[in-house]
Amino acid sequence: MKSPLPRRTFLRGLGTAMALPFLEAMLPRRAHAAEPAVGSPNRLLVFYVPNGFHMPAWTPTSVGSGYELPPTMASLTPYQSELLVLSGLDNVAAIDIVPGDHARGTGSFLTCMPIFETEGADILNGTSVDQRIAQAVGTATKFPSLELGSEGGKSTGVCDPEYSCAYTRNIAWSSPTTPVPKEINPREAFDRLFAGYDASLTAEQVAKRRLLKMSILDFVLEDAKALRKEVGQKDRQKLEEYMTSVYELEKQIESFDNMSECIVGPKPPPAQNIQDHVRMMLDIMVLAFQCDLTRVATYMLGNAGSSRVYGFLDIGTEHHYLSHHGNNLIKQAKLQTINTWEVEQLAYLLGKLQGVQEASGTLLDNSMVFFSSEIEDGNAHGHRNLPVILAGRGAGAISPGRHIQYAGEQPIADLYISMMNAMGVDDQTFGMNGTGPLAGLSG
């Protein structure tokens, strides 16, 4: 009887080691008894969008399991049973009487700690919930966490009145003084996670491989053929699906690279086909979870106060400007159009997660997807009643399919405590005002 495949099995080729998804052949084998179901790990994915939401088109009108999705969330209809829409959560750490709500809201987005007002290097925040989890469970995976985004910029300089850009361009903080920078280049993110370049390869060898437009699958094909002979039919099918996904994503990134190279001029536009960029980054995170390369990921669709122009939505006005709608119906309608597109990207992500089968359920069953923004309504710059969706079942810790309305001053930090607990981190306090798990998440 053959021994099971090691969980950290890779497909190998010249200078390449490509991670594999979980296969049944990795389960322990027993000669005389059926193998019981093996639980899958839990994951956390944070999906941040800037500038808040047009709340009348966001908030459901009823609570409980019979709620109706509002217009902005219409694309989530196929996944309504996998959603918790959470209303009434506050991040009071971001509240102050001085300007800078975008910086404060984004800086404290995952830390729930007041940020230190500075334009220099003496930044001060807290440790973010994703990094607290990564520090506790990250040793189980190749990468403790993954930070991606679709809008760049350095963490130096001033990006909001008297606040450092470190606060507006990062949501992950490994310590109160250390933001974790995000990767915005899909090629670099893909290569880091999946190409597994041998450290002995020279820069010239890597460049040559890219120049020849060779897929990483070209290098691991022989190893893949050998592996197919060792596994069962179900594993062969899963392996084919995974390799197809990797190939399609790689070719999409290659096309995106070529398109970007063809853009001429001293200053390219801020959004070079943002639709493709977002989808590629979401695909990368799904594959990273599928291969158990990491169990913690954050994604910033834009930086705080993003001024991206959504021309493909026939909107020629900057997002940040529109968020200051002043109750202008035309601006509100355009803002709702942007919000609807943002939620459509969440729907795409949930569909990809739900499409991956694991040893116990789907990848969505074994994940928590936290979707929110740094402020409530962009016009008011509010930090109370934040727009929040928590999707997935968190490996059994979450009972979705409901809209919950919290009364009083309910800290969003309590939600983060619940997420930490679901990931095996037993902390009972968090941020400046988190005092225990958020009630109602498990039904």
Domains of the chain: 44-201+271-422 (3.40.720)
Residue 271 clears pLDDT 90, i.e. is over it: no
pLDDT recorded at residue 163: 96
**% the chain with pLDDT above 70:** 88
Average pLDDT over residues 236-259: 83
Identify the band that residue 251 occupies on the pLDDT scale cut at 50, 70 and 90: confident
pLDDT recorded at residue 215: 77
**% the chain with pLDDT above 90:** 67
Identify the band that residue 34 occupies on the pLDDT scale cut at 50, 70 and 90: very low
For the chain, first and last CA: distance in Å? 44
Q: Which helix (H) or strand (E) holds 19?
A: strand 16-19
Strand 146-149 with 388-391, pairing: unpaired
Residue 299 contacts by C-beta under 8 Å, 6 or more apart in sequence?
A: 45, 46, 47, 48, 148, 149, 150, 281, 282, 285
Residue 30 clears pLDDT 60, i.e. is over it: no
Residue 31 clears pLDDT 90, i.e. is over it: no
Neighbours of 146 (CB within 10 A): 28
If you average pLDDT over every residue of the chain, what do you get? 88
Neighbours of 62 (CB within 10 A): 10
DSSP 8-state class, residue 53: -
Strand 296-300 with 173-175, pairing: unpaired
Q: Which two tokens stand for residue 230?
A: 């060792």
Q: What predicted TM-score, i.e. pTM, was given to this entire model?
A: 0.90
Residue 380 contacts by C-beta under 8 Å, 6 or more apart in sequence?
A: none
Backbone angles phi, psi at 189, to 5 degrees: -65, -45
Report the alpha-carbon distance of residue 191 to residue 249 in Å, rounded.
12
Identify the band that residue 179 occupies on the pLDDT scale cut at 50, 70 and 90: very high
Residue 76 clears pLDDT 90, i.e. is over it: yes
Report the alpha-carbon distance of residue 280 to residue 116 in Å, rounded.
34
Which neighbouring-strand residues pair with 368? Answer: 44
Report the alpha-carbon distance of residue 41 to residue 367 in Å, rounded.
8
Residue 360 clears pLDDT 90, i.e. is over it: no
Report the alpha-carbon distance of residue 148 to residue 293 in Å, rounded.
15
Identify the band that residue 64 occupies on the pLDDT scale cut at 50, 70 and 90: very high
Report the alpha-carbon distance of residue 18 to residue 193 in Å, rounded.
8
Which neighbouring-strand residues pair with 357? Answer: 362
> Which of the pair, 261 or 72, is modelled with greater confidence?
72
